[in-house]
A and B are shown apart, each in its own frame.
Chain A
Amino acid sequence: MDITDEERSLLLQRCAAGDASALHTLYDQVAPQLFSILLRILHRADLAEEALQEVFMSVWRNASSYRPGRGSPMAWLTSIARYRALDVRRSLRPDQFSGDMMEFAQETVAAEDTDLLEKASLSADAQRLAKCMERLTPQQDRVIRLAFSNGLTHEEIAARIGSPIGTIKSWARRGLQALRQCLDS
Chain B
Amino acid sequence: MPGLMNYHQHAELIDRLAAEYVLGTLRGRARRRFEKLLSGSIPMRRAVQSWERRLFWMSAGLKPVEPPARVWMQIAARIGGTKTAAMPPPVTTSHLWQAIAASIAGIALTLGILLATRQPEVQVRVETQVEVQPVQAAHTAIVADATAPIWVLNAYPGAGTAAAELRVQAVREIPLADNKSFELWMLPDSGTPPVSLGLLPRSGSAVLPLTAEKLRTLISTSKVAVSIEPAGGSPTGAPTGAIPYVAPLLHIA
Q: Which residue of A lies closest to B54 (CB)?
A: A183
If over half of B's interface residues share one DSSP class (helix, strand or loop), that class is named, otherwise mixed; here it is: helix
If over half of A's interface residues share one DSSP class (helix, strand or loop), that class is named, otherwise mixed; here it is: helix
The stretch from B77-85, B106-114, B169-177, B195-203 touching chain A is B77-85
Distance A154 CA – B27 CA, assembled complex (angstroms): 9
Q: Is the CB of B49 within 8 A of A71?
A: yes
- Report B-chain residues with C-beta under 8 Å of the C-beta of A47: none
Which of A49, A76, A126 makes the CB contact (< 8 A) with B71? A49
Question: At the interface, yes or no: A106 with Cβ under 8 Å from chain B?
Answer: no
- Report A-chain residues with C-beta under 8 Å of the C-beta of B81: 20
Q: Is the CB of A71 within 8 A of B53?
A: yes
Distance A76 CA – B78 CA, assembled complex (angstroms): 22
Q: Is the CB of A129 within 8 A of B54?
A: yes
- Report A-chain residues with C-beta under 8 Å of the C-beta of B65: 32, 35-36, 39
Evaluate whether A180 and B59 lie within 8 angstroms (CB atoms) in the complex, with A53-B74, A86-B24, A90-B27 already known: no
Which of B54, B58, B67, B71 makes the CB contact (< 8 A) with A149? B58
Q: Which residue of B lies closest to A85 (CB)?
A: B24
Question: At the interface, yes or no: B36 with Cβ under 8 Å from chain A?
Answer: no
Which of B24, B31, B55 makes the CB contact (< 8 A) with A129? B55
Evaluate whether A78 and B27 lie within 8 angstroms (CB atoms) in the complex, with A20-B84, A27-B72, A53-B74 already known: no
Question: At the interface, yes or no: A12 with Cβ under 8 Å from chain B?
Answer: no
Q: Which residue of A lies closest to B65 (CB)?
A: A36
Q: Which chain B residues numbered 12 to 71 have a C-beta less than 8 Å away from chain A?
A: 15-16, 19-20, 22-25, 27-28, 31, 46, 49, 52-68, 70-71
Q: Which chain A residues numbered 31 to 57 have a C-beta less than 8 Å away from chain B?
A: 31-33, 35-37, 39-40, 48-50, 52-53, 56-57
- Report A-chain residues with C-beta under 8 Å of the C-beta of B57: 117, 120, 123, 125-126, 129-130
Question: At the interface, yes or no: B96 with Cβ under 8 Å from chain A?
Answer: no
Distance A90 CA – B30 CA, assembled complex (angstroms): 13
A130: min CB distance to chain B, Å: 8
B75: min CB distance to chain A, Å: 5
Question: At the interface, yes or no: A105 with Cβ under 8 Å from chain B?
Answer: no
Q: Which residue of A lies closest to B246 (CB)?
A: A57
Which of A70, A119, A180 makes the CB contact (< 8 A) with B49? A70
Question: At the interface, yes or no: B208 with Cβ under 8 Å from chain A?
Answer: no
- Report B-chain residues with C-beta under 8 Å of the C-beta of A145: 58
- Report A-chain residues with C-beta under 8 Å of the C-beta of B83: 20-21, 24
Question: At the interface, yes or no: A11 with Cβ under 8 Å from chain B?
Answer: no
Interface string of A13-35 (1 = CB under 8 A from B): 00000001101100100011101
B26: min CB distance to chain A, Å: 9
Q: Is the CB of B82 within 8 A of A20?
A: yes
Which of A74, A144, A183 makes the CB contact (< 8 A) with B56? A74
Evaluate whether A90 and B60 lie within 8 angstroms (CB atoms) in the complex, with A70-B49, A75-B52 already known: no
Which of A24, A72, A172 makes the CB contact (< 8 A) with B23? A172
Q: Is the CB of A82 within 8 A of B24?
A: yes
Distance A148 CA – B55 CA, assembled complex (angstroms): 8
Q: Which residue of A lies closest to B55 (CB)?
A: A148
Q: Is the CB of B64 within 8 A of A35?
A: yes
- Report A-chain residues with C-beta under 8 Å of the C-beta of B68: 49
Distance A126 CA – B60 CA, assembled complex (angstroms): 9
- Report A-chain residues with C-beta under 8 Å of the C-beta of B28: 90
Evaluate whether A33 and B49 lie within 8 angstroms (CB atoms) in the complex, with A23-B79, A129-B57 already known: no
Question: At the interface, yes or no: A88 with Cβ under 8 Å from chain B?
Answer: no
Q: Which chain A residues numbered 97 to 130 have a C-beta less than 8 Å away from chain B?
A: 113, 115-121, 123, 125-126, 129-130
Q: Which residue of B lies closest to A65 (CB)?
A: B191
Q: Which residue of A lies closest to B23 (CB)?
A: A147
Extra contacts, 12 of them, besides A56-B75, A75-B56, A172-B20 (Cβ < 8 A), are A20-B81, A21-B84, A27-B72, A31-B71, A60-B75, A60-B79, A79-B56, A116-B60, A123-B57, A172-B25, A176-B20, A176-B23
8 intermolecular pairs with C-beta atoms under 8 Å apart: A52-B67, A57-B75, A60-B79, A74-B60, A75-B52, A123-B57, A144-B23, A153-B27
Those 4 A-B pairs whose CB atoms lie nearest each other, nearest first: A119-B61, A32-B64, A120-B60, A116-B61
